[in-house]
Structure 1
Amino acid sequence: MIKPIDMKQVAIVVTQHYKLLSIAAIMEVFEAVNRLYQERGEEPPFLLRLVGQIACNPTTAEFHGYKVDPISESGKSDLVMVPSFNSHDIRQSLALNSQLLPWLREQYKDGAELACFCTGAFLMAATGLLDGRLATTHVDAGASFSQHFPQVKLRLDKTVTADHRLYTSGGATSTFHLLLHLINRHCGREVAVKIAKIFAIDMDRHHQSYFGSFEPVHNHTDELVATAQQKIETNYQEAGTIEELIRDIPSSRRNIVRRFKQVTGVTPIEYLQNIRVEAAKRLLEQTSQQMSEVVFNAGYNDAKAFRKVFRKAVGMTPSEYRLKFQVR
């Protein structure tokens, strides 16, 4: 039996530089939930409204036939949805959406649940509401997120996080998993299962680590860090420890580690592990090398240690990764 609920006021935020797929997914899923109730002769559980910074961009006054209300006239919401937006220049994107920050804080203070999808987590984090709380985002945006918001407990392995009425989701398709989570919370599992079947969503995917790839940061001007990066990326197969790689750099280990993490978002040891894991992933995807060869060519001598590092970074064993992603 479909669980009856009081109608919830849902505000879908039309951000500057929004990703169309993200907004479309939110609207499609919640409209489908409303239809399920209407087909049973019941009141729809969600009243959907689009809101945005109209003053900043008059063209957002209408969105694919839907009226977009200015946030100044939006009133109180029960649930606020922040879609993914362009994160190539995160400072610019946050600046363009800065008027939303006090509004989001006010909505939360008034009791609203806030749900952010993919890179929309950057906007939620900019409000300060996520400080000390769990969050996730697109796996490839993790380094940038950590640099901008070090106080947030980022869990890139998670598809969805929920912490004190604050919800986040991982990359693109993880949007659907957060939507299912919210539907299950408000409408019950029966409706969530029906929606999962309508949109062909795998309800049991709780991790996203294996979709990510490590992208080294090179667009900086710190020559000491650049030298350390070059040594790691060139010699990751031969070196036994990070100390062997950085010992010729004219600086103390403490200074190198401090500057390295400040620039890249990770320590030199983590950087080396990421480089090796990416090398192993390429070998597993593109070759038929025996596992012992993959371990050695990725820079490891201990197969057990390799599997432990790989599983922690990727969320599955090397054999499972090969089975899932090998180019045949």
Structure 2
Amino acid sequence: MKHISILVPESAVMEAVADPRYLFTAVNQFLQESGKKPLFNVQLVGQSKEVRFLGGVYSVRTDKTLDEVDKTDMIIIPALFGDLKSAVDLNQKSIPWIVKHYNCGAEVASLCLGAFLLASTGLLNGKKCSTHWAFYNEFRETFPEVEVVDGGIITEENGIYSSGGANSYWNLLLYLIEKYVDRDTAILAAKYFAIDIDRESQAPFTIFNGQKDHNDEEVKKGQEYIESNYQEKIAIDDLVNILGVSRRSFERRFKKATNNTIAEYMQRVKVEAAKRDFELSRKNINEVMYDVGYSDSKAFRNLFKKLTGLTPVEYRNKYNKRAELPV
């Protein structure tokens, strides 16, 4: 049997503790019903025998404490909740425990914002990682040695797995079922739990708010100018002239502060505006394209799909449920 240790961290998201236990237990039942032996020995593991969440609204009684686990094959790190630095600090005892068992051959999987606890172990240094899209900037700032996969649902490297935001962790759990059991069982679980098994990107759910958690005031002015004038075709030379800065230096500072080039930032602001139009208006594709400063329909459609994972028509049909809309 494969021993699955579901860590029960302080400040965890309750569902991210319960859901993996539910899934692995259900798969055992599926196997037994088909005449096979159950594969997973699932245990909840914590720093103490009882872990409370949300000021005691929820509590979980663990099967074992950290020091009672002699060996395990897989550690699941659920999503954290609230202030992430404080949440990681509350779980300091689990960090050497995760490292110890990884070095002894266990695989490790983080769900959503569990990536912050996983990255705190140092095991992700020099590796790729997925996490919730809304926390990319905080993650990159906190763990500059780790490469965040933009839009990634599942990332795997050297026995370390991570998943994208919120319910994306179901896709990682199904991926593990397919790896440990087989594709048929993963499909059965996907149908049972009503999950889109092969979703590959969280890009359609991403909301781009700009990265302003930095101290470069001139870069912030540049961001604000782009966001206020996204309908126009802004030339980078015109932008730096307005700000009175040298282009080469400003491009370097902009990239460092926002993790985007100036051109990428312009594109993302324009696409975010287009998304809002598709969600709320009855404008057709060309009208929205012109509104956000594009005149080349092929370039606009290619960029939109690159950043959202959907074509403009697919995005509008997904998020605008009004009566028949013009293409």
- If the length of structure 2 is used for normalisation, what is the TM-score? 0.88
- Deviation readout 1:266-292 (Å, 9 max, x if unpaired): 333222211111001011111121222
Match of 1:106 in 2: 100
Match of 1:268 in 2: 262
> Cα 1:96–1:75, aligned 2, differ >3 Å: closer, same or farther?
same
Equivalent position SS for 2:314: helix
Whether 1:121 and 2:115 are equivalent positions in the alignment is: yes
Q: Which deviates further from its counterpart, 144-153 or 234-243?
A: 144-153
Unaligned stretches of 5+ residues in structure 2 = 323-327
Code of the residue aligned with 2:191 in structure 1: it is K
* Residue pair 1:79, 1:112 contacting (<8 A) in 2 also: yes
Match of 1:35 in 2: 29
- Please state how far the C-alpha of 1:300 moved relative to its aligned partner: 1.8
Q: Which deviates further from its counterpart, 285-294 or 250-259?
A: 250-259
Whole-angstrom CA distance in 2 between matches of 1:226 and 1:117: 32
User: What is the RMSD of the two structures over their aligned residues, measured on CA atoms?
Assistant: 2.5
> Cα 1:9–1:126, aligned 2, differ >3 Å: closer, same or farther?
same
Match of 1:13 in 2: 7
* Residue pair 2:131, 2:162 contacting (<8 A) in 1 also: yes
Unaligned stretches of 5+ residues in structure 1 = 1-6
Equivalent position SS for 1:48: strand
Code of the residue aligned with 2:179 in structure 1: it is R
- Please state how far the C-alpha of 1:105 moved relative to its aligned partner: 1.6
Of residues 55, 58, 61, the one that matches 1:66 is 61
Whole-angstrom CA distance in 2 between matches of 1:269 and 1:160: 28
Match of 1:160 in 2: 154
Q: Which deviates further from its counterpart, 257-266 or 158-167?
A: 257-266
Query: Greater relative contact order (Cα 8 A, min sep 6): structure 1 or 2?
Result: 1
- Deviation readout 1:94-127 (Å, 9 max, x if unpaired): 3232332222221111111111111112222222
Whole-angstrom CA distance in 1 between matches of 2:223 and 2:144: 22
Q: How many residues align?
A: 319
- Please state how far the C-alpha of 1:148 moved relative to its aligned partner: 2.6
- Please state how far the C-alpha of 1:43 moved relative to its aligned partner: 4.1
Whole-angstrom CA distance in 2 between matches of 1:217 and 1:240: 19
* Residue pair 1:118, 1:174 contacting (<8 A) in 2 also: yes
- Deviation readout 1:287-320 (Å, 9 max, x if unpaired): 1212221111112232222222211111121111
- Please state how far the C-alpha of 1:59 moved relative to its aligned partner: 4.7
> Cα 1:59–1:322, aligned 2, differ >3 Å: closer, same or farther?
closer
Whole-angstrom CA distance in 2 between matches of 1:102 and 1:238: 53
- Please state how far the C-alpha of 1:58 moved relative to its aligned partner: 6.5
Match of 1:83 in 2: 78
> Cα 1:72–1:266, aligned 2, differ >3 Å: closer, same or farther?
farther
Whole-angstrom CA distance in 1 between matches of 2:214 and 2:140: 17
Whole-angstrom CA distance in 2 between matches of 1:182 and 1:8: 12
* Residue pair 2:4, 2:76 contacting (<8 A) in 1 also: yes
Equivalent position SS for 2:242: coil
